[in-house]
Amino acid sequence: MKPVSVPESSDEEGKDSQFVIRMEAAERKRREDRKHKQGKREHDARLDKKSCPVCGAEQAYDEYLERRKKCLNCNVEYRSKTSWAKVGRSFLERQETDLLAREEKRRELVEMAEKAEAAQMTEGKRQSAHFGVSSHGDAFLSEGPEDTVRSSQKRKDPRCGKPESA
């Protein structure tokens, strides 16, 4: 009897499958590392990180991910550096003073525009009185005697020379 031999292809398939598994694990690790680095960069860029009120240490990204709320050194809970209770009143006061300043500026601009408009109106009346133009400024639109003669005559069609039909 001949011994049963395992085809060589199955041995190579086992090596190939092990290679694929290792490559997938390496790729997964690479993606996790990139995601962790990206999150760390974003966390470092934040301006509202919590800090320890005793030692001043900021909450690290890993502590943030693990949701640790207490400082490792002091065992005191992290707090935000600023809170609305601290800055709310001054912020609202600044908003109010800014609003009043903008309203005052708007009133001044409206007054200046009204004065300029009034000055322009009086200048326009003086010019119209000097040149004999009506207050509506339509003197050039009125028909003179030569305009009435021309409009009463029938116009000729330039293409054929016959009078235009109405």
> pLDDT, tens digit, for every residue of 32-58?
999 999 999 999 998 888 999 999 899
Q: Look up the pTM and report it.
A: 0.42
Alpha carbon 163 to its chain's center: 64
Q: Which residue has the higher pLDDT, 159 or 145?
A: 159
Q: Stretch 98-110: mean pLDDT, rounded?
A: 97
Cβ proximity of 71 and 55 under 8 Å: yes
Q: Stretch 127-150: mean pLDDT, rounded?
A: 54
What does the alpha-carbon distance between residue 4 and residue 2 come to, in Å, rounded to a whole number?
6
Give the largest Cα separation in the chain, rounded.
135
128 pLDDT higher than 80: no
Q: What is the pLDDT of residue 148?
A: 52
In the chain the first and final C-alpha atoms are separated, in Å, by 122
Would residue 137 be called left, alpha or beta, if left means φ above 0 and alpha means ψ between -120 and 50 degrees? left
What does the alpha-carbon distance between residue 24 and residue 116 come to, in Å, rounded to a whole number?
77
156 pLDDT higher than 90: no
Q: What is the pLDDT of residue 39?
A: 93
Q: What is the pLDDT of residue 154?
A: 59
31 pLDDT higher than 60: yes
Q: Stretch 83-108: mean pLDDT, rounded?
A: 93
Alpha carbon 40 to its chain's center: 27
pLDDT band at 6 (very low <50, low <70, confident <90, very high): very low
